Structure formats: C-alpha cells, structure tokens
Amino acid sequence: MGYLERLDIYKEDMLKTLKESISKPSVGGEPTRTAEGELMPYGRGVHDALLHMLSEGERLGFEVHNDDNYAGHIEFPAEDNSGADGYFGVVGHLDVVPVGTGWDNDPFEMIEKDGFLYGRGTSDDKGPVVASLYAMKALKDEGLVPHMPIRLVLGLDEETGPTSVDHYTENFGHPKMGFTPDGNFPLVNGELGIVVFELAQKFSSRRAKEELRLTKFEAGTAHNAVPEKAKAVISGDKANFDEIAEKVSAYREESGYEISSRKQGAALVIEATGKAAHGAHPDLGLNAASILFEFLGRIGFASEELNDFIDFYNNHIGFDLHGERMGCELSDEVSGPLIFNVGLVNINEDIATVTVNIRFPVTYSDEDVLERVQQELGDAPVGIVTRMVQPAIYMEPDDPMVIKLMQAYKDETGDADAKPMVIRGGTYAKMMNNILAFGAEFPDDENTMHQANEKLSADSLMKMAKIYARALYALCFEEASE
C-alpha cells in the first residue's frame, strides 16, 4: 500500500478530527487565564483549538510542542532528529473570523450535506490543517523518514495580527522551506507588497459657528476594505442648507450615485452609499468616500484649508484605483498594476486624515511607492504617516521548490497546463521566510471563506491531502518507490 492509498483509509478519521476542531469556537478574543493562572493570549476558544490539535498530533504518533500558548507545532522528526539544517514548515492557523449572521446551522457544529462540510473554519483554515496533518501521517505510516524535520506549525491569530508567528519564529526560527495551506491552488509564487499610510492635514484655525462648516466626515471600517458608507455633517449657515440639499439632488441625478441629505437638529447630514469590496479588489466596489468628496467639492466652506484638502483629494485621488494621479502608478509583468484603495476617512474641524491601502508590484518596494507619493505632494500641506508595511514576495517559476510543488498539484489533478500565480492578498508567506501559499482553494471552488455557511467539499479535502502528501514526499524524502 502506498501513502496515497492510506489517505483514502483515513477519510473518516480525518472528518472526525475536523469536526472536533470546528466545535472549538476559536474566534480571537482578549487575553485571559486558565484556572491555574496560565496565559491564553487569544482567549479560551483559540486556546482550546490549539490543545485539541496538539492532542490529535500526539495521538497520531508525532512529537508536539506548545509555544507558550502563542502557537504550537506537530513534528515529524528527521533521520538524525537534530534539525540542524532547518525544518520544513507547513504553516496553518486555527483561529477563525467571527460568525456573523445568515447561517442555516450552528457554525461550530460541522455538518455534511450534499458532499459539503459546513462550519466556520472548514475552508479557512482548519480543513487544510487537518489535510496537512493526515498527509504527514500517511507518509509516517508508510515507514518513510524525512531528511529534515517536518513541522505543522499552528498559528493562532492569522485573522487579526502577526504576534503568533512572530513569537514562534523568535523561539524556533524560520523554516528552510515550506508552504502555507491558506491560499490558492495551483500555487501562489508571489504576493504583492502592502503599504498602509495616512494622508493628514491639520487645520490652523476654526471658523465662527455661524459660518458654513464641515464638522464631521466619516467613511469606512478598515483600511483594507472599500467603504460602503460615507457621512458628512455640515453645520453653521442654515440659510445655505436648502441650496445644498438641491445640489445633492442634482448631483444624484447627474451621477447616478446614491446620495441623500436630511436635516438633523441644527445640522445638515449628507450620506453616500457605494459598494463594499475587499481592498485588494477595489474594482469590484464603489468607494462611498470618493462619492462624498466629489460632491463636497461643489460646496464652498468657510475654511479655505478644508476646501483645499477636498480639492486635493478630488484632483489627486478621486475614483482612481491605481494611483494614477498620486504619482505611484507602478506595474510589472508578473503582478500587473499597483492597487490603490482609500479605506478610511476622518475629518473634523481640527484635522483631516485619509487612510490608503496600497498593494504594490513584486519588483518594487514600499520606498518606491512612498517616494513617488511624497514627490507628488510637493509643497502641499498634506503629510504622510506610514502605518504598516509588508514587503512583496516572489519566487521564480524555475525555483526547485516551485517546480516540485507545481508537479505535486499536476500529478494529483491532471491539470498539466496549470501555472503559478501572483495574488493581491497576503498570507503567512509574508510573515515567515521561505514559504509560499499552496492551496487550499481549488480554481473551481466556491469561495465561502469569512462568509455565512462556510463550506468545503469532502472531495476537495481528500484531494488537497493527497497533493500535500505528494509535495512533502518530493521535498523531504529520498526517492523511493511507493
């Protein structure tokens, strides 16, 4: 019997392990402590999910290690058991996003229906973690021994931050090579870099209460999302409210955008509605903040500094998606164009801030982007405050690891024409050196990650387990007959 055939035998055991993992409500929470005083950095649910998976690893005959409850790993030891030459990392995560509404069943009780496994975490990322674990088991039960240790690293805050893998790498270092089963098949060999910054301007003086003032402008919930709603509150000169309301109606008629006005006490409230989308794909949305900025450009406020800032936005950003008028319209052959998304806007009478999320091509750096933006700003009284940087990653298609991972996918699926891809999003490959995102979403899968009724087909679970087993065999074991 070969290791691939063993996986078919393990199917029911795999489903049982996954069902138990799904039952742990591992939504990240505030740090708390056990009855014995032990720290649980991400809350009880995440902690229980870690202990369960480590227990499963031990039950299946592997060595396990709990990294101070910040992470953990399940290890398939090497021949000499030293790991002196590094380890092969399969880096997944056990935390899940909040449940939200719209579920047909309890999201933490996995059910099987019409060939699909439903539950929070089935596809992101507990299903792929379980598939990886049983891929390791199939190889171990076949009597094979790897050249370097294989560690299934269990991250615990992928959905909210980097502290889990940061803690792990501080103690155990980065893998020599590896993959994260938290992306796309056939293989992600590149991820655009990300830089998040604020464009900010302070206003030197307030205007008199009877003058026309913009007292509040709010839009967005996160820098990496297209704002669906934007709201402005105008105060002061009430004599202009009716005229502004008429301008809102005229703009709505002219543009076709959803925008409205209403009086609220002594103020006029203007609200714009766009279409939400992920910040990596702003072309799939419509930015409500840009709608509202464009309209406000038709109003003359008492503050010339405010008017100038509104004009700056409309003249340099507007509805651009690639930084065309901010001087950072970069592109390369493997990545395509830079992606420019305004995710947050906050303006009051003292300061205006616009938070921008940029995904830049793999052949450029965050300095390339920021220098171009700064040059475009010139003498404008708008400053840049950098909030986050994630460098781009890229591995050439002819890299030996890329070739072997791709071959594992092709051999199992029969898709001889498959090619690696560069994506706009970010995975653990940005946080740990020498790894790439390898699955677990297949090209024809319906993506239900982060949604109600998250699901994974049972066939996909088995297929990814066999792909991972093939990949581990090719990269970590001597050539031998199956």
pLDDT of 255 above 70:
yes
Contact 246, 259 (CB under 8 A): no
**What is the average per-residue pLDDT within 373-397?**
95
Q: Report the alpha-carbon angle 363-368-370, nearest 5.
A: 140
At 161 the pLDDT is 81
Q: What CATH homologous superfamily does 3-191+394-476 map to? A: Zn peptidases (3.40.630.10)
pLDDT of 482 above 60:
no
What percent of the chain lies above the pLDDT cut of 90? Answer: 89
pLDDT in tens, 390-419: 999 999 999 999 999 999 999 999 999 999
At 205 the pLDDT is 81
Residues of the chain with CATH 3.40.630.10: 3-191+394-476
Q: For the residues of 299-316, what is the DSSP string, one character each?
A: S--S-HHHHHHHHHHHHH
Q: How far is CA 13 from CA 1, 7, 18, in A?
A: 18, 10, 9
Per DSSP (E only), the strands in 177-281 are 177-180, 183-184, 188-191, 193-202, 213-219, 225-226, 229-235, 258-264, 267-273, 277-278
At 449 the pLDDT is 87
At 100 the pLDDT is 86
What is the SS3 assignment for 362?
A: coil
Per DSSP (E only), the strands in 9-142 are 32-33, 39-40, 63-67, 71-76, 88-93, 111-113, 116-118
**Nearest Cα to Cα of residue 339 among 428, 423, 238:** 423
Point out the residues that are catalytic: 95, 158
Strands 150-155 and 88-93, how do they pair?
parallel
At 480 the pLDDT is 40
Contact 234, 221 (CB under 8 A): no
pLDDT of 310 above 80:
yes
Distance, in Å, from the CA atom of 313 to the CA atom of 224, rounded to the nearest integer, reads 19
**What is the average per-residue pLDDT within 183-192?**
96
End-to-end CA distance of the chain: 8
What percent of the chain lies above the pLDDT cut of 70? Answer: 98
pTM (2 d.p.): 0.86
Q: Where are the alpha helices (DSSP H) in 317-450?
A: 366-377, 400-413
At 478 the pLDDT is 64
At 409 the pLDDT is 98
**What is the average per-residue pLDDT within 127-132?**
98
CA 445 to chain centre: 18
pLDDT in tens, 45-95: 999 999 999 999 999 999 999 999 999 999 999 987 666 679 999 999 999
Helix, strand, coil percent content, the chain, rounded in steps of 5:
30, 30, 40
pLDDT in tens, 70-82: 999 999 999 876 6
Block residue for tokens 């992306």: 183
**Residue 251 — φ and ψ, nearest 5°?**
-65, -40
At 481 the pLDDT is 36
Q: Higher pLDDT residue, 81 or 378?
A: 378
pLDDT of 132 above 90:
yes
What is the SS3 assignment for 427?
A: coil
| Residue 187: both structure tokens together | 């293989």
- Please tell me the class of the 193-390 domain: alpha beta
Residues of the chain with CATH 3.30.70.360: 193-390
**What is the average per-residue pLDDT within 269-280?**
94
Contact 340, 321 (CB under 8 A): yes
At 61 the pLDDT is 97
13-17, 80-84, 89-93, 265-269, range with the lowest pLDDT: 80-84
At 479 the pLDDT is 54
Distance, in Å, from the CA atom of 33 to the CA atom of 435, rounded to the nearest integer, reads 33
pLDDT of 104 above 80:
yes
**What is the average per-residue pLDDT within 440-451?**
90
**What is the average per-residue pLDDT within 331-345?**
96
Distance, in Å, from the CA atom of 207 to the CA atom of 192, rounded to the nearest integer, reads 43
